[in-house]
Amino acid sequence: MWRIPALRLLGCTRSSRVFLFQDAGPRHYGSCPLGARDEVRDRRAYFTTPIFYVNAAPHIGHLYSALLADALCRHRSLRVPGAVTTRFSTGTDEHGLKIQQAAAIAGVAPAELCDRVSAQFQRLFREAGIACTDFIRTTEVRHRRAVQHFWEVLRARGLLYKGLYEGWYCASDECFLPEAKVTKQQGPSGDACHVSLESGHPVAWTKEENYIFRLSQFREPLQQWLRDDPQVITPEPFHHAVLQWLEEELPDLSVSRRSSHLHWGIPVPGDDSQTIYVWLDALVNYLTVIGYPDAEFKSWWPTTSHIIGKDILKFHAIYWPALLLGAGMSPPHRIYVHSHWTVCGQKMSKSLGNVVDPKTCLDRYTVDGFRYFLLRQGVPNWDCDYYDEKVVKLLDSELADALGGLLNRCTAKRLNPSGTYPAFCAACFPNKPGLVGSSVRVQAEDYALVRAVASLPKQVADHYDNFQIYKALEAVSSCVRQTNGFVQRHAPWKLNWENPVEAPWLGTVLHVALECLRVFGTLLQPVTPTLADKLLSQLGVSATERGLGELNFLPRFYGHPCPFEGRRLGPETGLLFPRLDQSRTWLVKAHRT
Ligand code: ME8
């Protein structure tokens, strides 16, 4: 006989979004109430990407997930400085039938395939500037220990039982499918074969005795968790979709396979004839990274934000929180879901031969250029289409012309011969619109620019909080355009430093433009770290002046001193972002072939 612990959801504290659970049995699981420890924990943030299968080389979709997490984590570090307040993990998912079969087809041992492809992911992420704090491989000993411990906890809590499982299994997706999600299709040899309706991948009928998790018991706690915090799953349509799924019956879940069929995995503790289901194995990676089962993991759980693609929503929003609740733990704080990249309107796939190699893109467009493109164009709610001309057009117009042009104009020797951060003249640019006087040169639109740039950091932070990095970049880009308009309007190149009437205004125009550039550079650090560093160094902004707490835009306008005024600008280091369209011989060639 099994016994399910009577979990009662006691409540969710809005500030920390920590769930408090009480076990009716003798043990007390879950988080401690708010207190001094939680204040520390509130300052911590743990970001994760999915861990990627090693059956094939990484593509731009994998890089996109890692970039989203990287930018979120970098933005958070700029906001909350301090020694260890953020953590960011990624890694490779190396067990399961999919990998076992891929290794067999490649004629290599699974461990060899894992080593090779995992190294490709690690290299790509290093080259793309993904500043993860942890890279986990599920074949590591620390992970095996965590998974087996987690299993034992579920077993001790009466949540696993042995039963006969019969149904469709899709090895490509590593999931079980109900009859309604399977269809018949004509295979390459003309024979009818069964495939998954959703992914189109082949499925096989499986009948075997294995361990089963009492998932069905968790339908209501999951519904309550999602209803209590409507922002758990972002964007909202995905939250809604999960609630819809939970309206349907939630069958128990088979969580092991016969070892004779699946040997490449973690054995069930105490029963070598069974191997643990790869999704249970993979999901526990999020705990392994933070030291589970040792107590240290508690300072990072559940302040976790999982960044995932829409294809694996069910595993993260239903199976994972249910398993956690089953183990007496809180579900994750946030699940950020993004849609997919397609290529010229088609799904990216090895068989279609249209997989975009991220390494080629980083080489062609530069690391910062390609990071900017993916994060500026990728919209979590909808699939995004990739093609080369789109990248060139975007980067040339926003990074080379608008941002690079602005920096170039305002720091060029011709316009700024002293090579310093010019002084701001309050008489030329008084802080109250409508003032008249002989030295007042400012126009109504200039106040709109100051307002827009002053509110930009908050706007950007809100977009990050809502997992809309593309909107944050759109807002920065719009302010860059406004600043170019400001410079164009006042045409400082027509003013003369030698003229005592014109010089204060000339200095003010440049001062305001440089202040705007300083804000843009600071805010772009999470997305284009090298380019932002170049920009800020050229403005003479030191490493300790680049946090969001130190931003303090245009203090002279508000009557405060400006630490940059009169400071020497940094050395010129060439164009911020050279235009691509002149150097894209590869693109022309690609079109001819
Ligand atoms: O599912 N566009 O691994 P996986 C955007 N190992 N992102 C994409 C994408 C595309 N076209 N294709 C893939 C697995 N992704 C499991 C995860 S986690 C405990 C285990 C990204 O190699 C996206 O994040 O199939 C998607 O969810 C993930 O890669 C799937 O990677």
Reduce the secondary structure of 574-589 to three states and give it as a string. Answer: CCCCCCCHHHCHHHHH
User: What is the spatial distance between Cα 511 and Cα 421, in angstroms, rounded to a whole number?
Assistant: 6
CA of 285 to the centre of ligand 1 (A): 15
Atom 19 in ligand 1: which residue has the minimum CA distance? 283
348 CB less than 6 Å from ligand 1?
yes
CA of 446 to the centre of ligand 1 (A): 46
309 CB less than 6 Å from ligand 1?
yes
- Return the ligand 1 atom nearest residue 383 CA: 2
> What's the pLDDT at 585?
55
Q: Looking at residues 183-203, what average pLDDT do you find? A: 85
> What's the pLDDT at 42?
60
- Return the ligand 1 atom nearest residue 342 CA: 11
Q: State the sign of the Cα–Cα–Cα–Cα dihedral 361, 367, 371, 373.
A: negative
> What's the pLDDT at 393?
96
175 CB less than 6 Å from ligand 1?
no
CA dihedral 185, 186, 187, 190 (to 10 degrees): 160
CA of 91 to the centre of ligand 1 (A): 12
380 CB less than 6 Å from ligand 1?
no
Atom 7 in ligand 1: which residue has the minimum CA distance? 61
pLDDT at 268 over 60: yes
384 CB less than 6 Å from ligand 1?
no
311 CB less than 6 Å from ligand 1?
yes
CA of 310 to the centre of ligand 1 (A): 8
Q: State the sign of the Cα–Cα–Cα–Cα dihedral 69, 199, 256, 249.
A: positive
Confidence class of residue 15 from pLDDT cuts 50, 70 and 90?
very low
Q: Which residues of 65-88 are buried (b: 16+ CB within 10 A; e: fewer)?
A: bbbbbbbbbbbbbbbbeeeebbbb
Could you tell which of 72, 118, 340, 467 is best to mutate to test the pocket of ligand 1, judged by most ligand atoms within 8 Å of the CB? Answer: 340
Q: State the sign of the Cα–Cα–Cα–Cα dihedral 143, 146, 148, 154.
A: negative
Return the structure tokens found at 395: 């980067």
CA of 212 to the centre of ligand 1 (A): 25
DSSP three-state, residue 185: strand
Atom 28 in ligand 1: which residue has the minimum CA distance? 309
CA of 114 to the centre of ligand 1 (A): 17
CA of 333 to the centre of ligand 1 (A): 20
- Return the ligand 1 atom nearest residue 93 CA: 6
Which residues are within 8 A (CB) of 51 and not within 5 positions of it... i.e. 6 or more apart?
90, 91, 92, 93, 136, 138, 282, 285
Q: Looking at residues 377-386, what average pLDDT do you find? A: 96
312 CB less than 6 Å from ligand 1?
yes
Reported as a single tens digit per residue, the pLDDT across 58-84 is 999 999 999 999 999 999 999 987 656
512 CB less than 6 Å from ligand 1?
no
CA of 383 to the centre of ligand 1 (A): 14
The rounded radius of gyration (Å) of the Cα atoms in the chain is 28
Average model confidence (pLDDT) across the chain: 90
CB 273 within 8 A of CB 258: yes
Give the β-pairing of 182-186 and 192-196. antiparallel
pLDDT at 247 over 90: yes
Confidence class of residue 14 from pLDDT cuts 50, 70 and 90?
very low
CB 307 within 8 A of CB 48: yes
DSSP three-state, residue 200: coil
Atom 3 in ligand 1: which residue has the minimum CA distance? 52
320 CB less than 6 Å from ligand 1?
no
Atom 29 in ligand 1: which residue has the minimum CA distance? 62
pLDDT at 21 over 50: no
Q: Looking at residues 37-53, what average pLDDT do you find? A: 77
48 CB less than 6 Å from ligand 1?
no
306 CB less than 6 Å from ligand 1?
no
Comparing 256 with 550, which gets the higher pLDDT?
A: 256
pLDDT at 347 over 80: yes
279 CB less than 6 Å from ligand 1?
no
340 CB less than 6 Å from ligand 1?
yes
> What's the pLDDT at 583?
64
pLDDT at 538 over 60: yes
341 CB less than 6 Å from ligand 1?
yes
Could you tell which of 172, 311, 324 is best to mutate to test the pocket of ligand 1, judged by most ligand atoms within 8 Å of the CB? Answer: 311
64 CB less than 6 Å from ligand 1?
yes
Q: Looking at residues 192-202, what average pLDDT do you find? A: 88
Atom 4 in ligand 1: which residue has the minimum CA distance? 52
Return the structure tokens found at 295: 């107590």
pLDDT at 24 over 60: no
- Return the ligand 1 atom nearest residue 283 CA: 19
pLDDT at 593 over 60: no
Overall pTM > 0.85:
yes
Q: What single-letter amino acid sits at 485?
A: G
Reduce the secondary structure of 300-365 to three states and give it as a string. Answer: CCCCEEEEEEHHHHHHHHHHHHHHHHHCCCCCCCEEEEECCEEECCEECCCCCCCCCCHHHHHHHH
Element (H, E) at 55: none
Which residues are within 8 A (CB) of 316 and not within 5 positions of it... i.e. 6 or more apart?
283, 306, 308, 332, 335
Reported as a single tens digit per residue, the pLDDT across 132-181 is 999 999 999 999 999 999 999 999 999 999 999 888 998 888 888 888 88
308 CB less than 6 Å from ligand 1?
yes
CA of 330 to the centre of ligand 1 (A): 24
pLDDT at 366 over 50: yes
- Return the ligand 1 atom nearest residue 50 CA: 18
93 CB less than 6 Å from ligand 1?
yes
> What's the pLDDT at 330?
97
CA of 467 to the centre of ligand 1 (A): 18
Tell me the DSSP string of 107-145. TS-HHHHHHHHHHHHHHHHHHTT---SEEEETTSHHHHH
Question: The tokens 């395939």 sit on which residue?
Answer: 113
Confidence class of residue 303 from pLDDT cuts 50, 70 and 90?
very high
Q: Looking at residues 88-109, what average pLDDT do you find? A: 97
Return the structure tokens found at 160: 């696993």
CA of 50 to the centre of ligand 1 (A): 6
CA of 62 to the centre of ligand 1 (A): 6
> What's the pLDDT at 84?
67
Atom 31 in ligand 1: which residue has the minimum CA distance? 52
CB 584 within 8 A of CB 390: no
Q: Looking at residues 430-445, what average pLDDT do you find? A: 82
51 CB less than 6 Å from ligand 1?
yes
Asked, as a colleague might, if the bond just before 561 is cis with ω within 30 of 0, I would say no
